[in-house]
Amino acid sequence: GRLRDAFTGQAMPPAAAALPDRPGPHMIETCRAVVQQWETTHHGWAPPRFYFGGFSAGAQRLLAVAGLDPATMKRERIGNAALDYRVRYGRGLRAGETVLVHSGPLAVTDRNWTFGHVMTAADGGEFLASAAVFNTLFDLDARKGIPLPAGMASKLAPYMPA
């Protein structure tokens, strides 16, 4: 059967437990960022929101690859919701460090998908964090989940793991 969440006992989304520790050959660079001083805590470390910002940028880039750029989503009145996150952290980040995020789909169904993201140090490729994010689309007016648009899965197919 499917893996179960240790806290809730519920079945985990497809591929949610498969957190990569390095970018796979199917993943594309979706974000390059520098930790700014103002983004750090009073102790000098980048908080979780910095990591999530990189993963969010990666998801937006993958949606655009799939034909759902911001203009299309606004015109079609489509919203995107992340229903579940699985995150694995490596080491902390300090101001001035440059990071890369590589992203790719891990699983796609007719109504949902899981995107995988890996954040590494731009200098040397050291693992910093990874995430698997289970997502769905919804109609902004009806406030109901909708199937993925025709062709979205085929546009993501070249970026699926082998």
3-32 core/surface letters (b: 16 or more CB in 10 A; e: else)? eeeeeeeeebbbbbebbbeebeebbeebbe
Of 144, 64, 160, which Cα lies nearest the Cα of 111?
Answer: 144
For 65-123, what is each residue's pLDDT tens digit?
Answer: 999 999 999 999 999 999 988 999 999 999 999 999 999 999 899 889 999 999 999 99
Q: Quick one: pLDDT at residue 16?
A: 45
The conformation of residue 160, written as its DSSP 8-state character, comes to: S
Q: Quick one: pLDDT at residue 20?
A: 76
The conformation of residue 4, written as its DSSP 8-state character, comes to: B
- Per-residue pLDDT band for 15 (boundaries 50, 70, 90) equals very low
Tokens of 103: 């992203």
This prediction has a pTM of 0.85
- Per-residue pLDDT band for 4 (boundaries 50, 70, 90) equals low
SS (H, E, C) 75-118: HHCEEEEEEEEEEEECCCCECCCEEEEEEEEEEECCCEEEEEEE
For 124-156, what is each residue's pLDDT tens digit?
Answer: 999 999 999 999 999 999 999 999 998 998 999
